[in-house]
Amino acid sequence: MTHSEPAPIAARRIRFGIVATLVFVSTMLISFVAAHHPAVFDEKSPAVTHLDPDLLRALRQAARDAAEHQVEIVINSGWRSPEYQQRLFRQAVSKYGSKEKAARWVATADTSSHVSGHAVDIGPPSATAWLSKHGSKYRLCQIYRNEPWHYELRPEAIDKGCPPMYADPARDPRMHQ
C-alpha cells in the first residue's frame, strides 16, 4: 500500500492476492492427486486396467452415478503387482512390529485381493461415504470395518445387501491360505 492508496483498495488487493494464491494451491493439489491417483476411467494406469473386468464395470457405473451427486470416486489403490504388495507388507511389519499386527492392515502378496485385481481402495471420504450408502446397488461392498476405503465386488449384494464386514483383514478367512 502506498501512502496515497486508500485502505479499502489495499484491502481488496490483499484479498485478491490471497484468493489467487488459494486457487493456485488448489489447482496444484488437484493436479498432484490426479497424477498419483488414477481416475476410474483411466485407460492407461495398470492400477485400473488390471482390475477384474466386472469390478471395473461396477466401479465405473457407480462413479457415473456418484458424479450426478457431485461426488468423485478416485482410485487410491487398485491392482498391485505381487512385488509391490510384498513391499507394502514388509513396510507394515516394520511399522507395527510383527507380521500378526501388520496383517490387520496389509495382506501378503499371496492373499491380497489387490494382486488378483479383485479389490480397490477409493477416496476421497465423500466417495467412501457415498459408496457405503449406495454400493450394494453396484455390488460394491466395504469388506473391512477398519478400512472404509477398501471395496470388493459382491454379486449377491444387489439382492441381499452387503455381507457383514470383517473387523480387519486378519479376521478374513481368505487371508489364512
Domain ranges of the chain: 1-36, 37-176
Task: Give Cα separations from 120 to 16, 28, 29, 102, 140 (angstroms).
Answer: 41, 25, 22, 19, 10
Is residue 65 classed as helix, strand or coil in its secondary structure? helix
Identify which of 117, 105, 108, 45 has the alpha carbon closest to the alpha carbon of residue 74.
Answer: 45
Give residue 30's pLDDT. 43
CATH number belonging to the domain at 37-176, selected among 3.40.800.10, 3.10.450.50, 3.30.1380.10, 3.40.228.10: 3.30.1380.10
For residue 68, give the C-alpha cell: 450426478
pLDDT value at 114 more than 60 = yes
Residues 6 or more apart in contact with residue 72 via CB below 8 angstroms: 63, 66, 124, 126, 127
Stated as kind and residue range, the H or E segment containing 171 is none
Instruction: Summarize pLDDT for 31-88 with one digit per residue, the tens.
Output: 344 444 678 888 889 999 999 999 999 999 999 999 999 999 999 999 999 999 999 9
Give residue 33's pLDDT. 41
pTM of the model as a whole:
0.77
Identify which of 154, 107, 148 has the alpha carbon closest to the alpha carbon of residue 124.
Answer: 148
Instruction: Summarize pLDDT for 132-150 with one digit per residue, the tens.
Output: 999 999 999 999 999 999 9
